[in-house]
Amino acid sequence: MGNDVTNFNDVIKNSFLNEYMFGNLAALDILLGLLTAFMAGSFIYGVYKFTYKGVLYSPSFNITLLVMTMITSLVIMTISTNVVLSLGMVGALSIVRFRTAIKDPLDVVFMFWAIAAGISSGAGLYLLTLLGAVIIGAVIVVLSRKKHTDTLYLLVIHYTEEANDEVKRELQKLDYTLKSKVVRKNMMEITAEIRLKIDNTAFMNKLGDLDGVQDVSLVQYNGDYAV
């Protein structure tokens, strides 16, 4: 009885290994997968460059998105032909750590988009890859071109202690939130977040004309960036 069970288990294992462990991938499928990944990656490249609104555009990061799409497709095609290799690669990739800091959350979206496009193209879902790229790209373009009703700015003022009351009186006329205040002997520095619906900076002249105010700076605030 034990031999029968062992033989049956061996048959199941052998049939599984023979059918799923080693597979063949036609050259045409490889070319189509890589070509689809390249097309999707190129589209992602163009959308990223067109919609980028950060401080400094990085061409190397954008090229990385394109190459990442093709590499992911190649990885998926590799593990789809070998079950054992796929399990080993999952373990190997689980120890990979990315040390590069991603400051803009939208960059993470593009990275996941590139990976998803590579996975779908490597799996042979060419129509899903291209159609999904077009739809996602259209959504990103539309949302990035949407004009906001107001804009956030950071207002930095350096002034003497004698001008404290006058500065507060002028700030009360604005929609502001105090972010920080630094006192150095007789000098003060405040940083306030303000919202402007239009590009009207006349209040800066009024603040600059106050006695005791040394300088007034205004920078646009966008997440972690000041431009």
CATH number, domain with residue 180: 3.30.70.60
Asked whether residue 29 falls in the same domain as residue 130, the answer is yes
Last-in-domain residue among 127, 144, 161 = 144
Q: Are residues 76 and 134 in the same domain?
A: yes
Q: Would you state the structure tokens that stand for residue 214, as one six-digit string? A: 């040394």
Segments in the chain below pLDDT 50? 1-2, 5, 16, 21, 224-227
Q: Is residue 7 part of a domain?
A: no
Q: Say whether both 91 and 157 belong to one domain.
A: no
Q: Looking at the domain assignment, is residue 108 inside a domain?
A: yes
**Is residue 15 included in any domain, yes or no?**
no
pLDDT value for 51: 87
120: Cβ contacts below 8 Å, ≥ 6 apart? 128, 129, 132
What pLDDT is recorded for position 90? 58
CB 141 within 8 Å of CB 51: yes
The total domain count for the chain is 2
Same domain for 49 and 136, yes or no, is yes
Q: Are residues 127 and 171 in the same domain?
A: no
| CA dihedral sign, ordered 35, 36, 39, 40 | negative
Residue that terminates a domain, selected from 118, 144, 170: 144
Please tell me the predicted confidence (pLDDT) of residue 171. 82
- Under 8 Å between Cβ of 85 and 22: no
Alpha-carbon gap, residue 220 to 227, rounded angstroms:
5
Same domain, 132 and 43: yes
137 and 156 assigned to the same domain: no
Whether residues 137 and 76 share a domain: the answer is: yes
pLDDT value of position 98: 58
Task: Note whether 130 and 73 are same-domain residues.
Answer: yes
Residue 169 belongs to a domain: yes
**Rounded to whole angstroms, how far apart are CA atoms 17 and 76?**
19
Residues 186 and 99 grouped into a single domain: no
3 occurs within a structural domain: no
Owning domain of residue 33: 24-144
State the pLDDT at residue 172: 81
Considering the domain architecture, whether residues 32 and 119 belong to the same structural domain is answered as: yes
Q: Determine, yes or no, domain membership for 198.
A: yes
Residues 169 and 131 in one domain: no
Separation between Cα atoms, residue 139 and residue 4, nearest integer Å: 60
Residue 164: name the closest of 219, 218, 207 by CA: 207
**Residue ending a domain, choose from 101, 116, 144:** 144
